[in-house]
Amino acid sequence: MKWTLVAFTLALAPPGAALAQDTADAIGDADRGAKVFRKCTGCHQVGSDASNRAGPHLNGIFGRRAGSIEGFDYSKAMDRAHDDGMVWDIEHLDAYIENPRALVSGTRMSFRGLKDPQDRHDVLAYLRQFTANPQDIPESAPTAVAREVELPPEILAIVGDAEYGEYLASECLTCHQSDGADAGIPSITRWHPEDFVVAMHAYKRKLRPHPVMQMMAGRLSDEEIAALAAYFENLE
């Protein structure tokens, strides 16, 4: 999929960015996105009077480091994403609103996610209007090419070999504790297998930011990830 931005280059482009029009397409339909955003307004505000509510305000969200609004009480998991250097570029925003817990496992954002890609693109197009500095369109990170965190059903359908998972897990347990303790390093026990599989693929595709996990996940096959999910699901 290609992220594109004609709508903004027309509306917001400063001098010098005009050339981008030729190669850019729209993220989505911002007007339609304004309607989709109503699902979010219970917790999030955006615009000139926006303030933090149950969720942080979304002004300047594009290019903002995750968990970086002063004074907002983020979950431990979002603090960790901040410390790991995660930045809300368009691909991370897309992955997050598709399934918040797949990207940031312990997030307090209790929203089931927008499964329809068009809904996500439209709402992101809407939100993009509230981030300053649009002159970086389309070359910079906020508009980098997206990768889907959505996995093909055949990957999610793999039945994990828990016995193989037990061997593979021994490598995880050098850092992650088998009793679920989570000081400094997150707990990975007793996750729903689908969450586990999606999270590992997000590392494998380098969507999640942590270098150790990107390396560890990077060499695991789809079957091996399923095996680990099957093992950790039932670890007492």
- Binding interface with another protein (CB under 8 A): 80, 82-85, 163-164, 166-168, 170-171, 173-179, 181-185, 211-212, 214-216, 218-219
CA–CA gap between residue 31 and residue 33 (Å, rounded)? 5
Q: How far is the CB of 94 from another protein (least distance, A)?
A: 24
Nearer to another protein, 15 or 184 (CB): 184
- 10 Å CB burial of residue 131 (0-12, 13-18, 19+) is buried
Nearest alpha carbon to residue 140 among 63, 65, 202? 63
Establish whether the linkage from the previous residue to 209 is cis, with ω within 30° of 0.
Answer: no
Nearer to another protein, 47 or 211 (CB): 211
Q: How far is the CB of 174 from another protein (least distance, A)?
A: 5
Q: How far is the CB of 182 from another protein (least distance, A)?
A: 8
Determine phi and psi for 189, rounding to 5 degrees: -90, 150
Q: How far is the CB of 150 from another protein (least distance, A)?
A: 25
Nearer to another protein, 148 or 223 (CB): 223
Nearest alpha carbon to residue 128 among 18, 13, 1, 231? 13
Nearer to another protein, 84 or 148 (CB): 84
